[in-house]
Amino acid sequence: MTTKSDELELVRGSGNVFRDLGLANSDKEHLRAQLAAEIIGIVRQRKLTQREAAKLTGLTQAEVSHIKNAKLTGFTIDRMVMVLSKLDRQVKMEVVRTRRRRSVKSA
């Protein structure tokens, strides 16, 4: 038998797990994770070994391993875009207006 205290609350996420967890630089971390997912997907799709992926991208085999294991410290967004370029991908960016988070009241 379940009681009210056993029930779970459903919370809708923002689409950015880093923001939902309250982490600093959440937008940057989300973008790096998206770029890494693209890289991982291409490597899997092409059935490349880590060594082959390293040769194509200019990374070391260890760096390819880090990306595959989502250990993204040390990988800038610029560098990940360059890796995608070497994997025959073009990264397009879009700037959109978001809701205002706070309004500043003047005295």
Per-residue confidence in pLDDT tens, the chain, 107 aa:
555 667 888 878 888 888 888 888 888 999 999 999 999 999 999 999 999 999 999 999 999 999 999 999 999 999 999 999 999 999 998 888 887 766 556 55
pLDDT at position 86 = 97
- Predicted TM-score (pTM) of this structure: 0.76
Q: Report the CATH architecture of 16-86.
A: Orthogonal Bundle (1.10)
Paired tokens of 1: 């038998």
pLDDT at position 44 = 97
Paired tokens of 17: 């797990």
Paired tokens of 74: 């040390």
